[in-house]
Amino acid sequence: MEDIVLFEGDGIGPEITKEVIRILDCAGLKFNYHPYLIGQRAYEKYGVLIPDEAIEAIKKYKVALKAPVTTPIGKGFRSVNVGLRLALDLYINLRPSRSYPNTLARYNDVDLVIFRENTEDLYTGKEYEIDGGFEAIKTITEKASRRIIEAAFSYAIKHNRLHVTCVHKANIMKKTDGLFLNLFNEISKNYPTVSIDDKIIDNMCMQMVMNPSQFDIIVTPNLYGDILSDLAAGLTGGLGLVPGANIGTDAAIFEAVHGSAPDIAGKNIANPIALLLSSCLMLDHLGYINEAKKIRTAVYNTLNDGTILTKDLGGTASTTEIADKIISYL
């Protein structure tokens, strides 16, 4: 039996986690879950957002499933998500986005995967006071850039993806983004069956809005990846449908990337699909390929049916009702 660290999170986290575990159980996946608190609930109980025991549990069991958590804003706290990624060196942020029927998607033919470098860039949080303001340090290293680019190309080969796009701002940031782009071009030569191109970040945003289906795999430094991931989610029906994974050499956290939505917490109206699809990425990671495929098919069939949809998808169904519908297709 697999050991999984479980973060139920804040706000709507516990209720969507409950339904996801129920669906996994109905799919025959009986895991040994180890629950820990992080985020707002951890702060209220322990006085810290990420207790040491939570980090040690991930190091021990290697895999975690994480619902959204709350980080207090404007009080000097580092993001819980950023803290976890840096503490565990989870250098890959994997964000697939695809179109589903009967949702609020702007396009019906999107199927792209974003590989976002997850440990450096402006997210190191190195900010300093200067005369008249502040400055932030943008860090781009060969090591971090090389491993995220390699991960993107390896994924392309493994999943029969044909094209990788590098996103950068090397026309302005010639040293930092220039390093990332040069490494991309160098590494691409080792993958002759995969075609490539590169786009400047501002043009990339425009191209994604105009014609997102032209993109297959996107690899990019941290900040641009954060922006493009949410843009892709907006084009394909919102964050309630988008899974996420943070993967390193020794550990991985699979998470819904939407917020904890405290305004609707406890009302049984939150959409559990993003966390469920994140659990499918976890299943892929653990080798449960067929089970992940069955769950994804059940999600697709539920959305294609269109009679049971949560409010964010244009319907009126409850969290429990849409989970029941997915289970019926399993």
Catalytic residue among 10, 198, 226, 284: 226
User: What distance in Å separates the CA atoms of residue 38 and residue 48, rounded to the nearest whole number?
Assistant: 8
DSSP secondary structure string for all residues of 229-273: HHHHHHHTT-GGG-EEEEE-SS-EEEEE-S---GGGTTSS----H
Backbone dihedral angles phi then psi of residue 49, each to the nearest 5 degrees: -80, -35
Q: Are 71 and 222 in contact (CB under 8 A)?
A: no
Q: Interior CA angle at 141 toward 137 and 145, to 5°?
A: 120
Q: Are 168 and 219 in contact (CB under 8 A)?
A: no
User: What distance in Å separates the CA atoms of residue 255 and residue 278, rounded to the nearest whole number?
Assistant: 6
Q: Are 310 and 240 in contact (CB under 8 A)?
A: yes
Please confirm, yes or no, whether 311 is among the known catalytic residues. Answer: no
Please confirm, yes or no, whether 169 is among the known catalytic residues. Answer: yes
Under DSSP, the state recorded for 174 is T
Catalytic residue among 91, 123, 224, 288: 123
Catalytic residue among 202, 250, 267, 293: 202
Nearest to residue 65, comparing CAs of 118, 125, 21? 21
Catalytic residue among 138, 169, 199, 325: 169
Catalytic residues: 123, 169, 202, 226
